[in-house]
Chain A
Amino acid sequence: MDTKLTQPAKKFNWFSLFWEGVTHMSILGKTLWIVVIIKLMVMFGILKPFFFPDFLNSKCQNDKDKAAYVIEQLIDRTNHTP
């Protein structure tokens, strides 16, 4: 008879991995996460919408217009290149 007690193996769980990882993060880990979040907010919340709009989308309604705009640019740049 096997008298040895064994603990059932803990099943891997993605949620608990993340939850325990996040809730037990060190100060360094938390600092880095804050840096990442602020960085992404600045990039996508400020820089992209206000300073880096898609140039062609701002000039053209659809792909056909974009093609027409670019072809005009490519042709005209031969006469106006610095």
Chain B
Amino acid sequence: MEILNASLVNWSRAQFAMTAAYHWLFVPLTLGLGVMMAIMETNYVRTGDEKWRKTAKFWQTIFGINFAIGVATGIILEFQFGTNWSNYSWFVGDIFGAPLAIEAIVAFFLEATFISIMFFGWNRVSKKAHLTATWLTILGATLSAYWILVANAWMQYPVGMNFNPDTVRNEMTDFWAVALSPVAVNKFFHAVLSGWGLGASFVVGVGSWYLLKKRHVDFALKSIKMGAAFGFISFILLAVTGDGSAYQVAQKQPMKLASMEGLYKGKTGAGMVAFGILNPNKQAYNDSIDPYYFKIELPKLLSLLGYRDINAFVPGINDIVDGGYTLPDGEKALSFDEKKERGQLAIQALANYRKAKQEGRDADAAEYKNTLQENYAYFGYGYLKTGQDSIPHVPLTFYSFHLMVIIGFYFILMFAIVWYFGHKKKMESAKWLQYIALWSIPLAYLAGQLGWIVAEVGRQPWTIQDVLPVQAAVSGLSTGNVITTFILFATLFTLLLVAEVTILVKQIKKGPEI
């Protein structure tokens, strides 16, 4: 039996987090810039204005650089499923495999087919055919994102499956429950819109750089005006889908919501923290230390967001661990200890089932299988020792969430101002705003990363919510192996990032052919 230690688990988690974070540097710009260049090309086809064609071609070149550098970085994540998370892969393979396979097929057939026409076909196919290819390329990329997010959403809210103790796999019983999970649908819109927002900030920022350099002024103003409108709408819709995310998280992952808000003691009519500083001295959920140094709360907002009722009870971390509060369906919430007991029953039933099957005791096996299925919903709790083990890293989740929201509202304001200045033809002379727009580009990237930190750190200790914690999911490799591959990946991705930034900057400095 391999020796499992905290170091192995944490390095494995760190490696996946690092590779996912790098991957998410490339994807949002593909999604956002892709739509924007398609809109610009649509303008060209509608108006026949050559300036729109050259504008679209420039942003398409930028799109191409980002796409080429970023392509296949997601495959690194799949490598890790098979090597570092083998128990997880086997356990969920029947569920996870389907959306990933669809993603690969959609990506291959749509993107790969039409991207070639998009890049090679400017003077070889008609305007409308080329435009169709452009839209189909970005549609392919967006649909790819959908299927990846279906897979991730299932980790947050596992549905549509039945655990088979003979194969030790979760088997899909309802494809549509998985594919159209409300968590998946909301996550898709939220993630894609974050890409649109990032794309818009990139276009506006780069356009502002051209204005600062007093180069390609007409091109820059066109791009900025479009980018500002697109960005403003995207970030408004992000706030709407963010509201949807909060609702889903409250229903399906109440511990994540409590961590996002640093809420230890539940409240009726709970307010949402607009700004706050957590007390780093609070180490355990059940100590008497005040979790906050300071906070500004918007009254009743958390209850409204989470339960669509300003007077709803929002459970805190302590309530979720201690149990006993009333759930939205009227049932009493189980305590951590009760869930742990059921989890241990389920795991023991699995062990007994295996033994009974090996010994040919079919009647006993049927009984154990029944016990397993009755308690399967809490399977993962059987691996945890104390209530503290069921709580994510509160400060990281809290600060990531709040900083992401602050950046989101910042961009709504920034794009509104840029849109206004563009509309009033004042953008060219507003140097201060050009600097703000340019230096806002990294903030859009930061917001995207923070969102994923909330999603994934907030889900800890689970790889599959309530069913499989990280310590049961990880492969029994040597920690040294994982540290080696961590360093290899960090090196590879850093080189790719340096290549991307170098090539992008060079191309931006070269400018459009206008």
Q: Which residues of A contact B (CB under 8 A)?
A: 12, 16-18, 20-22, 28-29, 31-33, 35-36, 39-40, 42-43, 47-48, 51-57, 63, 66-67, 70-71, 73-78, 80-82
Contacts and interface: CB of A to CB of B under 8 A. Distances in A.
Interface of B: 1, 3-6, 9, 61, 64-65, 68-69, 71-72, 75-76, 79-80, 82-84, 86-87, 89-91, 116-117, 119-121, 124-125, 165-169, 344, 347, 350-351, 354, 382-383, 385, 469, 471-472, 475-477, 481, 484-485, 488, 492, 496, 499, 503, 507
Given A32-B64, A78-B383, A52 B4 contact: no
B123 to A, nearest CB: 9
A60 B382 CA distance: 26
Contact of A75 (B75, B351, B484): B351
B1 A76 contact: yes
A17 B120 contact: yes
A71 B488 contact: no
Given A18-B116, A52-B83, A70-B87, A77 B75 contact: no
Contacts of A21: 116, 119-121
Nearest to B4: A80
A43 B512 CA distance: 33
Given A52-B485, A66-B90, A78-B347, A71 B120 contact: no
Given A35-B68, A43-B75, A78-B344, A51 B485 contact: yes
* Chain A interface helix/strand/loop/mixed: helix
Given A17-B121, A21-B120, A32-B65, A81 B472 contact: yes
A16 to B, nearest CB: 8
Contacts of B119: 21, 29
Given A20-B124, A53-B82, A71-B168, 10 more contacts: A17-B120, A17-B125, A20-B120, A21-B119, A43-B79, A54-B86, A71-B165, A74-B91, A75-B347, A78-B344
A17 B83 contact: no
Contact of B383 (A57, A70, A77): A77
* Chain B interface helix/strand/loop/mixed: helix
29 contacts: A16-B124, A28-B61, A29-B64, A32-B65, A32-B68, A35-B69, A36-B72, A39-B496, A42-B492, A52-B82, A55-B82, A55-B84, A56-B82, A56-B86, A56-B89, A56-B90, A67-B166, A70-B86, A71-B168, A71-B350, A74-B91, A77-B4, A77-B472, A78-B344, A80-B1, A81-B4, A81-B385, A82-B4, A82-B5
A70 B347 contact: no
A63 B280 CA distance: 48
A43 B168 contact: no
A75 to B, nearest CB: 5
Contact of A36 (B3, B68, B351, B475): B68
Contacts of A81: 4, 383, 385, 469, 471-472
Residue in B72, B385, B507 whose Cβ sees the most chain A Cβ within 10 Å: B72
Nearest to A46: B488
Contact of B472 (A43, A48, A74): A74
Contacts of B125: 12, 17
Contacts of A55: 82-84, 86, 475, 477
Nearest to B90: A70
Nearest to B64: A32
Contacts of A74: 87, 91, 168, 347, 350, 472
A67 B91 CA distance: 9
Nearest to A12: B125
Contact of A78 (B84, B91, B382, B476): B382
B166 A73 contact: no
Residue in A20, A56, A77 whose Cβ sees the most chain B Cβ within 10 Å: A77
B15 to A, nearest CB: 11
Contacts of A16: 124
A57 to B, nearest CB: 8
A53 B481 CA distance: 12
Nearest to B68: A32
B72 A40 contact: yes
- Which are the 7 A-B pairs with shortest beta-carbon distances? A21-B120, A55-B86, A82-B6, A32-B68, A52-B79, A54-B82, A81-B471
Contact of B484 (A51, A53, A63, A78): A51
B137 to A, nearest CB: 15
A52 B80 contact: yes
